[in-house]
Amino acid sequence: MKLIITEVGLRDGIQNDAVFVPTADKIRLIQQLFDAGVRSVEATSFVSPQAVPQLVDAEDVIRGLRKPAGASVSALAPNVRGAHRAIRAGVDELVVFLSASESHNRKNVNRAVSDSLKGIEEIAELAAAHSVKVRGAIATAFGCPFEGDVPPQVVAGIARAFRAAGVTHLTLGDTTGMGTPAIVRRVCGEVLSAVSDAALSLHFHNTRGMAMVNVAEGLALGIAEYESSIAGIGGCPFAPGATGNICTEDMVNYLHECGHETGIDVARLTGVALEMERLLGRTLPGQLMRAGPRSRLHPMDSVRTAAAQPTA
């Protein structure tokens, strides 16, 4: 299957990182992602600079990019003001969002879900007037850290509301890694029947080690778009030290091993991951960047002889 991978590391990955990534480095990393074949990048968020200091340079990042043919750059637009800024800066796609659970939406944006939807309708109109695409992201689609399970019908209802507002590209976000293959099957099934003409993208977190099996479930359902974060950057606000976003290069490598096509060069992607690790100055969750590809063979003298050391 031909798949579309959206890199979210420069937004969801680093937004709460203690290390400020300089604007020039952000731009350089995104260019390297383009060079690796990535064609969809969520590059930043047009949120208040006071609120998210890491993304204070949203305009400069968007304006600084040299996009290859066929590439799409998106940015989060939390409100109409942010949408205006993003459109002016020249994004191809606005990402609007709300949470499937009322309590998470309240906590995240201090609004009822219905109020978020009204704001989104306004942004969708604005975007349409400027011929900018809109992607609607539904956070906590596979579970809410405050409420627990979120009924699939509720997620499907929001998907329908997005659809009614003209948003035909949807992302289901597993915000705190509560998804399991069974839940992915139920929620996606409900959403796919509710808005059969929408493009669906899945955004998993590896908080409980299930991100890749959830991707596998998405693939089994025929879903062709996945969001991920280079080197697996981005944690979980509820669990210090826990993993957040699924790691892009690990996921792309897995997808290729399953025979799917992404147009991405895994070796170059791994190079970007190592560069990100160097910039942030700490070990990041990605596996492949430490282990190397399975095709990289080792000389027999690369480890000590171990009649001694039987490994099974």
Active site residues: 236
CB-nearer residue toward a copy of itself: 40 or 108: 108
Could you say whether residue 139 binds a copy of itself (CB under 8 A)? yes
Of 18, 69, 129, 306, the residue at the interface with a copy of itself (CB under 8 A) is: 306
Could you say whether residue 112 binds a copy of itself (CB under 8 A)? no
Closest approach of Cβ 255 to a copy of itself, in Å? 11
Q: Which residue has the tokens 């359902």?
A: 221
Of 118, 153, 258, 278, the residue at the interface with a copy of itself (CB under 8 A) is: 258
Q: At what angle do helices 152-164 and 113-129 cross, to 10 degrees?
A: 30
CB-nearer residue toward a copy of itself: 28 or 111: 111
CB-nearer residue toward a copy of itself: 69 or 300: 300
Q: Tokens in use for 14?
A: 């680093």
Could you say whether residue 184 binds a copy of itself (CB under 8 A)? no
Q: Are 7 and 228 in contact (CB under 8 A)?
A: yes
Of 216, 221, 267, 274, the residue at the interface with a copy of itself (CB under 8 A) is: 216
User: SS3 of 98, please?
Assistant: strand
User: What residues contact 50, with CB distance under 8 A and at least 6 apart?
Assistant: none
- What is d(CA 236, CA 229) in angstroms, rounded to the nearest whole number? 13
Of 68, 103, 112, 153, the residue at the interface with a copy of itself (CB under 8 A) is: 103
Could you say whether residue 237 binds a copy of itself (CB under 8 A)? yes
Site residues for a copy of itself, 140-179, by CB under 8 A, read: 143, 145-148, 171, 173, 175-178
Total site size for a copy of itself, rule CB under 8 A: 86
Query: What region, left, alpha or beta, does residue 247 occupy, with left being phi > 0 and alpha being psi -120 to 50 degrees?
Result: beta
Cite the DSSP H helix spans in the chain: 23-35, 58-64, 80-89, 102-109, 113-129, 152-164, 181-194, 211-220, 248-257, 266-280, 288-291
Site residues for a copy of itself, 9-68, by CB under 8 A, read: 12, 15-16, 45, 47-48, 50-52
Residue positions counted in the chain = 312
Q: Are 72 and 94 in contact (CB under 8 A)?
A: no
Task: Please state the φ and ψ torsions of residue 4, each to the nearest 5 degrees.
Answer: -110, 125
Query: Segment contacting a copy of itself (CB under 8 A): 20-28, 122-130, 189-197, 299-307?
Result: 299-307
Site residues for a copy of itself, 185-214, by CB under 8 A, read: 203, 206-210, 212-213
Query: Segment contacting a copy of itself (CB under 8 A): 27-35, 63-71, 126-134, 290-298?
Result: 290-298
Of 3, 10, 87, 95, the residue at the interface with a copy of itself (CB under 8 A) is: 95
CB-nearer residue toward a copy of itself: 209 or 281: 209
Whole-angstrom CA distances from 235 to 9, 17, 48 are 11, 9, 21
